[in-house]
Amino acid sequence: MIHRVTILFMTLAILGSAEALTRYVSAHANGYAPHHGVIGGYDGGHSYHARAVVDGKWVPGKAGAYPNGLLVKAGIPYGGAEHRMQNYEILTSTTTHRYQKMKTGDRPPVNGIVGGYDGGQSYFAKGVIHGHTIPGKAGTDSHGNLVGACFAWGGKEYRINNFWVLLHN
């Protein structure tokens, strides 16, 4: 029994440490990305994991940067469209992170990074849209199962069934 309790506390301490090193930093178009911004893809420049308030909810998406480092408006997938947001937050982390391959219907990983709420918890995700790996969101249904991942691209919201969820390492 002592070993199980010790392992539980060690696991909580490790997860708690990773979560403590992950935070959101305010950002805006034409500003620069914060130090330690978590990059989720590349589309002519780095694409960061970002989130913004849409319809009163924090929703994960992407914030791209020009090659000179200046940020563009965030692209937030919501309601079938890409919402371009001037002000948003970028996920930052001073620890390493990794991704887990997931598909529609899977249970979210215990150490998945939740970035908002869109009918259920929304996790930071990345996927391939038109040959580009970009950040987005992986939502859950009322039973807690993943319902696919959504990505903002070209003014639209794209949903895919195979994607990666960002994890606390």
Domain extents for the chain?
22-167
38-76 tens-digit pLDDT: 999 998 889 999 999 999 999 999 999 998 889 999 999
Q: What is the pLDDT of residue 92?
A: 97
For residues 6-12, average pLDDT? 33
Q: What is the pLDDT of residue 158?
A: 98
Average pLDDT, the chain: 89
Q: What is the pLDDT of residue 13?
A: 39
For residues 137-150, average pLDDT? 96
What dihedral do alpha carbons 135, 97, 124, 116 form, nearest 10°?
-140
Q: What is the pLDDT of residue 20?
A: 59
For residues 76-96, average pLDDT? 96
Tell me the percentage of the chain whose pLDDT exceeds 90: 79
29, pLDDT greater than 70: yes
3, pLDDT greater than 50: no
Q: What is the pLDDT of residue 118?
A: 82
8, pLDDT greater than 70: no
Confidence band for 12, pLDDT divided at 50, 70 and 90: very low
Tell me the percentage of the chain whose pLDDT exceeds 70: 88
Q: What is the pLDDT of residue 147?
A: 97
pTM of the model: 0.86
